[in-house]
Structure 1
Amino acid sequence: MNITDATDAYKLIAGKLQSWLEAGIQMLPNLAVAVVVLIIFIVIGKLVRKAISKLLVKTTSNRTIINLLETVVGVLVVGIGIVFALQILQLEDTVTSILAGAGIIGLAIGFAFQDIASNFISGVMLSVRHPFGIGDIIETNGFYGKVQKLNLRNTILKTPQGQIVYIPNKSVFDSPLQNFTKGNERRIDLACGVSYGDDLEKARNLAVQAVESLDTIDKNRDVEFFYNEFGGSSINFVIRFWVDFHSNVDYWQAQSDAIIAIKGAFDENGIDIPFPIRTLDFGIKGGEKLSTMLVNGEEQ
């Protein structure tokens, strides 16, 4: 490289630097405004996050969901501020490229993680609607147990037998759900039967009095008794009563106490709870009697 070429290269570089410097000086006012706008949006983002947190605390106790939604809202607000700042700096092409890239990336992520996204959205909706809380006893998707946790993907139950069940939030959100804890009460329908030869009025009064004497039932609700079937060996009935329900033990204990009380009252007063009766007929017309078959077998 000779001196002339070096001089031309120097002039070219110096000219570029000078043009960039002049452009930078011209953009200083816009840059200052863009920085101010970005700072304002950052402050707004923090304020919005606090407002979202106060709002969500009233609707859900799931801290994971609250923190995630706070972060998502904060990032969206700051992202809007960045877009405005780039427009102030007259970088519309950059803004367009960013939005297009975000759209493509979002579409790709949506297809790749659609199950995760659906479970996440369902978890958010469950937290907002709040059909159950931590510690509630529920039944859904064929599983019964106490809610241990609601995270971004699963609803976690602990069954009465001690097993831990992970149910996808989407399945919980889309399926029927029974909450046994919500009303803090539950009705027990206890089926039984008495002999055809017993006094039905007497049996009804004894059963109702036996259940009403229990301390484990709700005394503010009436005990109901209904005969409902002529059975094969008994006249069947159902006796219905309510318990204050806070755990499975409340239900099981009241049901057990009622069975003991009814059985004891019936035994003391000569009321029979009959066993099923089966009559076996081996002398069917056209066939051979059992006694004849046995005699023929011995002779052979």
Structure 2
Amino acid sequence: MGRLLLGVALIVMEVSLPPVRAQTGDAQPETPSGSPDASELSNEQISAPPETPDEVSVSEVVGDSEIGARLRQILTSTEWFRDEDVVVENGVVFLTGATESEKYRTWAGDLASRTEDVVAVVNRIRVAEPPILDLNPAWTELRGIGRIIIRSLPLAIIALAMLALTWMCGGFAQRLADRTILRRIQTKLLREVFRKVLMIPVLLLGLFFVLRITGLTQLAVTVLGGTGRFGLVIGIAFRDIAENFLSSILLSMQNPFQYGDLIEVAGQQGFVQRVNTRGTLLMTTEGNHVQIPNSQIYKGTIVNFTSNPNRRFTFVAGIGYDVPLSEAQDTALQVLTEHPAVLDSPEPQVLVEELGSSSVILRFYAWCDTSAHAWTKVRSSVMRLVLKAFADRNYSMPDDSREIVFPQGVPVHMVSEDLDAGKQQGDESGRVRGVLQRRNGQAPEQVVNRGEGDLSSDAADIRKQAETARDPEQSKTDLLAEPVSASN
């Protein structure tokens, strides 16, 4: 029994007591549960970088005199300050002097504050006010521009050489075109237009290369890209000029007239002297220069009197009712056919046009060669000869009858002298007949007299006037072919 109780007691003690670890040479001392492990602490200390101080002192303490001397040397070396001075007392820096810019004043304060062993900075540097008439900024800009120009001289020389080469290439292209494709174009204006069209792409290509060489690539792209928009703007702004230019091209292609032609357009009549890209220059028969825009000429009605040298002229004359009409027509027709300046084909005609109140109106038609004769002179000669032929045959040519109405009436006094005077005067037709009868005894009428000249064309006289007249534009801008004779 005693042994049993002893065994139970031993078992209870074995269970209730904590286990005892075996201590060896590798045993580690226990650490409190609240403290970190040694391995973890060493890793944190190794990974955390040390803090970098703002300043690293190379000496124990820098004296005030050394700080002031160093700052004074730096300020003097910059040459930005006038009457500069640095005073240091117990690490406090006092800056005095003058400068021309606020940025220099701020820079000096920052420099002093970053100096070693400086506690505080008192910046008493003042900014000097610039004078009213200060040309220094202008001179500074000019010097900067001068430096830029000097640095750009090599590129400018290369660009000029490239432009000269481009111009030479354009001229070569024009000469090559003149010898090949432009030889078939007879109109001078069209040749000039095609030569300019060939020159434009060459110049644009050369300009693009120049801009690329000078480093202005973006500008080159802008120039090439904006050519279409630029042309649109120019076309809108200079619409009239562009219209005249295009009209001049169309006129040169259609060629409605030539140099020296007598034309009538826009209410003006004259001989063609010049056609350029703006307008057409005419010289009227009065010797005046008239410039007409090509757009008006192209859109207007053109009458060319020279393209067909034969021109018909007309005039009228009245004969009395007592004159045989057929005989009068034959007489006038004989005068027309015998005149040397009147053409046989088309043949002349004498037609009754109107039966007037006191006379029969005859109209005369005849043709003449305007390249050899002036139609105005020929008409004058023919009218004079017809009048002479009618006078030789005692044909009466009475005036038109007139009716005068007096609303208030006219008092009439019967005087014998007035009656005698009325009897002596006779009627108007008798007076005209008497005049014509008195002419019967005169010499035969000449075909040409001094007043009419030699019936030659006025084109030669107008051409002489154009040669002696002052050029309205004072420039050689004639775009027509070479001058041709008036007979052409």
Q: TM-score, normalised by structure 1?
A: 0.71
Match of 1:68 among 173, 178, 192: 192
Tell me the SS of whatever aligns to 1:239: strand
Instruction: Determine if the alignment matches structure 1 residue 232 to structure 2 residue 361.
Output: no
The count of aligned residue pairs is 240
- Matches of 2:384 and 2:279, distance apart in 1: 41
**Which protein, 1 or 2, shows the higher relative CO under an 8 Å CA cutoff with sep ≥ 6?**
1
User: What is the CA distance between 1:220 and its match in structure 2?
Assistant: 3.1
Native 8 Å contact 2:174 2:195 kept in 1:
no
User: What is the CA distance between 1:116 and its match in structure 2?
Assistant: 0.9
Write the deviation string for residues 58-101 of structure 1: whole angstroms up to 9, x where unpaired.
xx3xx4x2452132231255369779x9xxxxxx9888644421
Native 8 Å contact 1:188 1:240 kept in 2:
yes
Native 8 Å contact 1:217 1:243 kept in 2:
yes
Residue identity opposite 2:386 in structure 1: I
Instruction: Determine if the alignment matches structure 1 residue 101 to structure 2 residue 217.
Output: no
Tell me the SS of whatever aligns to 1:291: coil
Corresponding residue for residue 409 of structure 2: 289
C-alpha spacing 1:52/1:238, structure 2 compared with 1 (3 Å): farther
Residue identity opposite 2:272 in structure 1: V
- Matches of 2:388 and 2:171, distance apart in 1: 74
- Matches of 2:329 and 2:293, distance apart in 1: 47
C-alpha spacing 1:55/1:80, structure 2 compared with 1 (3 Å): farther
- Matches of 1:202 and 1:98, distance apart in 2: 83
Corresponding residue for residue 89 of structure 1: none
Match of 2:317 among 192, 203, 208: 192
1:4-153 aligned at under 5 Å gives the runs 46-57=175-186, 60=187, 63=188, 65-76=189-200, 78=202, 97-153=222-278
User: What is the CA distance between 1:288 and its match in structure 2?
Assistant: 4.5
Residue identity opposite 2:246 in structure 1: I
Corresponding residue for residue 255 of structure 1: 379
Native 8 Å contact 1:195 1:234 kept in 2:
yes
Q: Which runs of 5+ in 2 are unaligned?
A: 1-167, 210-216, 414-488
Residue identity opposite 1:120 in structure 2: F
Match of 1:155 among 271, 276, 280: 280
Tell me the SS of whatever aligns to 2:272: strand
Residue identity opposite 1:291 in structure 2: P
Native 8 Å contact 1:196 1:235 kept in 2:
yes
Tell me the SS of whatever aligns to 1:233: coil
Match of 1:276 among 378, 400, 404: 400
Tell me the SS of whatever aligns to 1:133: coil
- Matches of 1:276 and 1:71, distance apart in 2: 66
C-alpha spacing 1:281/1:98, structure 2 compared with 1 (3 Å): closer
User: What is the CA distance between 1:112 and its match in structure 2?
Assistant: 1.7
Corresponding residue for residue 389 of structure 2: 265
Residue identity opposite 1:75 in structure 2: M
State which structure, 1 or 2, has the greater radius of gyration over its C-alpha atoms: 2
Write the deviation string for residues 120-149 of structure 1: whole angstroms up to 9, x where unpaired.
111111111110111000001100111111
Native 8 Å contact 1:45 1:73 kept in 2:
no
Native 8 Å contact 1:49 1:73 kept in 2:
no
How many percent of aligned residue pairs carry the same amino acid? 27
Corresponding residue for residue 160 of structure 2: none
Native 8 Å contact 1:232 1:277 kept in 2:
yes
Native 8 Å contact 1:45 1:78 kept in 2:
no
Residue identity opposite 2:329 in structure 1: R
C-alpha spacing 1:56/1:272, structure 2 compared with 1 (3 Å): farther
Tell me the SS of whatever aligns to 1:115: helix
Tell me the SS of whatever aligns to 1:182: coil
Tell me the SS of whatever aligns to 2:411: helix
Tell me the SS of whatever aligns to 1:278: coil
Instruction: Determine if the alignment matches structure 1 residue 246 to structure 2 residue 374.
Output: no
Match of 2:307 among 174, 178, 182: 182
Native 8 Å contact 1:144 1:159 kept in 2:
yes
Tell me the SS of whatever aligns to 2:401: coil
- Matches of 2:283 and 2:176, distance apart in 1: 38
User: What is the CA distance between 1:200 and its match in structure 2?
Assistant: 0.3
Residue identity opposite 2:363 in structure 1: V
Q: TM-score, normalised by structure 2?
A: 0.45
Native 8 Å contact 2:262 2:269 kept in 1:
yes
- Matches of 1:124 and 1:255, distance apart in 2: 39
Residue identity opposite 2:183 in structure 1: K
Native 8 Å contact 1:137 1:179 kept in 2:
yes
User: What is the CA distance between 1:211 and its match in structure 2?
Assistant: 1.0
Native 8 Å contact 2:171 2:199 kept in 1:
no
Write the deviation string for residues 40-62 of structure 1: whole angstroms up to 9, x where unpaired.
999776544444532321xx3xx
- Matches of 1:165 and 1:235, distance apart in 2: 42
C-alpha spacing 1:163/1:201, structure 2 compared with 1 (3 Å): same
Residue identity opposite 1:255 in structure 2: R
Corresponding residue for residue 294 of structure 2: 169
Write the deviation string for residues 246-299 of structure 1: whole angstroms up to 9, x where unpaired.
27x5211210111011001100011122212213243xxxx5430169xxxxxx
Native 8 Å contact 2:265 2:303 kept in 1:
yes
